[in-house]
Amino acid sequence: MRRSRTKATGLFLLAAAAAALAATEQSAGGLRWTVPTAWTVQPARPMRAATYAIPAAPGAEAGECGVFFFGKGQGGTVSENLDRWTAQFENATAPSRGVQDHGGLRVHTIALSGTYLAPGGPMMQSQGKKPNWRLSGAIVEAPDGLVFFKCVGPISTIEKAQKDFERLLASLSKAQSA
């Protein structure tokens, strides 16, 4: 009797751990993706479809990935947004830009490092300079408009999270119509 109870408890704990590690799917703009298991879904914030906390690299602070969707034809062009993101850095490395295809969706990527001006608030004014920060971002041409993924944080934190970000991009697909 005791052995079967221990076995049942073990199976229950294993199932609970598996559920905790289960991938979370989210969607916006006719697009869906899988959130990396190491990232933490944050409470809703204005103007964002989602926000994720990115775990800190040793000796650094945590990073953040904001997901934005403004609607079809809203939020500016891909080029305008990539230029805007670049302008949010001083003394930056030359931006590395690319175009990929994930799940039949065109994805524009960017990565750069430097002093992040940490824009925020209604006028997107700088909230303070953050040296040695990195941006790894993507703009997806989704069925209902552009969806923006903008990950920022200390260089070591964002570099550590790069594989997770790449897995998120690889998980992109068109959302099923209801």
pLDDT at position 68: 95
18: in domain: no
Scored b (16 or more CB within 10 A) or e, 116-125 reads bbeeeeeeee
* pLDDT tens digits, one per residue of 29-41: 999 999 999 999 9
Please report, for the domain that includes residue 109, its CATH number: 3.40.1000.10
125 versus 82: the higher-pLDDT residue is 82
Residue 92 confidence (pLDDT) above 70: yes
* pLDDT tens digits, one per residue of 125-177: 556 789 999 999 999 999 999 999 999 999 999 999 999 999 999 999 998 86
Number of domains in the chain: 1
Task: Determine if the pTM surpasses 0.75.
Answer: yes
pLDDT at position 2: 52
6: in domain: no
pLDDT at position 20: 40
27 phi and psi angles, rounded to 5 deg: -150, 155
115: in domain: yes
Using DSSP's 3-state secondary structure scheme, residue 7 falls into: helix
* pLDDT tens digits, one per residue of 24-70: 899 999 999 999 999 999 998 888 999 999 999 999 999 999 999 99
pLDDT at position 3: 53
77 versus 121: the higher-pLDDT residue is 77
Average pLDDT on 87-104 reads 93
88: in domain: yes
pLDDT at position 13: 36
7: in domain: no
10: in domain: no
5: in domain: no
How many alpha carbons fall within 13 Å on the CB side of residue 21?
A: 6
Instruction: Give all strands of the β-sheet with 173-174 in edge-to-edge order.
Output: 24-28, 31-35, 173-174
Neighbours of 10 (CB within 10 A): 10
160: in domain: yes
Range of the domain at 68: 24-174
